[in-house]
Structures are given as structure tokens and as C-alpha cells.
Amino acid sequence: MIELYTGPTPNGQKVAIALEELGLEYRGHSIDILKGDQLTPEFLAINPNNKHPAIIDLDGPGGEPMTLWESCAILVYLAEKTGQLLPNDTVQRAQMMQWLFFQASAQGPMSGQYAHFAFYAAPEHQYPYAAERYLNEINRQLGVMDRHLQNKDYFLAEYSIADIALLPYAMTSLRASRVERPNVQAWVTRLSERTAVTRGLAIMLDQTRDETIAGGMKGYGEAHRDVLFGDKQFAERG
């Protein structure tokens, strides 16, 4: 059994899709970041970096419980645990890691920065330049992905955790982007037909808060900003 701590976000969706694809038994635990669940001592004992998703594999290496955070690290761990969704070929495996690092260092962070300045920052800090800068970077990244996917079904020779890692943020980026990316859109459509992908994308969907982008930003205000970006977020913890 794998305990999955997450919310209805792209990073959590990645891990849930992988768990579904790999046929691993798991149990989801909701982490409401607007309420501050990520800052509780109980969750910090699982992930001292106060971010979700995180997992506890109750049947880890040697039969001992294994705690892990960072979504791409979790994907690699789960794929290696089952021997699925990752290539054996050295070149393909290196390229898989290339796309995982691209996702973790570029795709996810740039999307997060755009969301912050376009939606979550206080009105006096929603700088048009900042939002435009990050949206332009999202468009550029989609272009990189689109060119790579020309005449390809997947990012590697076969479906892998590289596709799973890139999918959720690609879906949100396509909605924000002003530029058509037909190869990325075709890839998203192709993956969305997979039952495991549909199930993984639905993780914690019933826990979506009205105050988030997905919920329409209804009622979002200073109290939520304080939890996400204020003193509570940055307080030193022993």
C-alpha cells in the first residue's frame, strides 16, 4: 500500500496517474494548502519542504516503509519499483531523465510563477510585465515540446513516465497559451484516452477549493495569501 498525500494539482496528478498506470494499491490523503495542511507538524514530518505530493510506501525496499517527496523523484521510484514505464535502453533512459528535469526545472516552475502573478498575488502586485514574461516562457516551452512531438506519439519511443510528468502542466499551459500547438494538443488527446490517465487526473477533484484558479478564484483573499506566501510559509522551523 502506498499512502499518497496530495491535492487537486498537476504535481499530484502526475503521481496519481503513475500509480494508476502501474496498478499499485494506494490511498489518497487530502492536503489543503489554503488551509495550511502543508505546514502542520504531521505533514512536515513527511515532507520538511512543506509541498505536496509526498508518498509513504509501506512496502518499500527491504519491506520497510519508504517516505519520498518531489513528484519526479516519486515517478522514477515507482517506475523502478515495478520495472514499468521506463526504458532499458541507455540512450532512451537518458532522454527520459532529460524530459523529467525539463519538467521539474522549467515547465512546472514557470507555470507556477505565471499563476502567481496573474492570479494569486495581491492586486497591487499583479504586475503585467511579470505575468507576460512567464506566459511568454510557457509559450516558448510548448514550442519546444511541439517540435519534439512532430511525427511522434510520445516523448520517447514508447509511453513512459516522461509523458506522465509533462501531461498535467501541458494541459493547463495549453489553456493559458495564445499560440496553437497542434502536436502537443494531439498528444494530450491521445493520453487522455487512457483510463489510468483519466483516473489520475481526477485525484482529489472533489476537494477543489473555490478560491483556486480551478475553482474560479471565488473568495480568495489576504488570509489565503498569508498562508501561501506570507509569514506562515516562510517561518523558520526547527
| Euclidean distance between CA atoms 59 and 20, whole angstroms | 17
| Euclidean distance between CA atoms 73 and 24, whole angstroms | 17
28 three-class SS:
strand
CATH code for the part of the protein at 2-84+199-234? 3.40.30.10
Summarize pLDDT for 21-63 with one digit per residue, the tens.
999 999 999 999 999 999 999 999 999 999 999 999 999 999 9
Q: Taking the CB of residue 5, how many other CB atoms lie within 10 A of it?
A: 24
pLDDT of residue 122: 83
Evaluate whether the domain defined by 90-194 bears CATH number 1.20.1050.10. Answer: yes
The model's pTM is 0.95
Look-up of cell digits 489543503: 32
Q: Average of pLDDT values for 199-206? A: 96
Residue closest to 50 by CA, chosen among 225, 233, 212: 233
| Euclidean distance between CA atoms 164 and 159, whole angstroms | 8
Confidence bin at 225 (pLDDT 50/70/90): confident
236 three-class SS:
coil
Q: Where are the domains of the chain?
A: 2-84+199-234, 90-194
Q: Bridge partners of 69?
A: 54
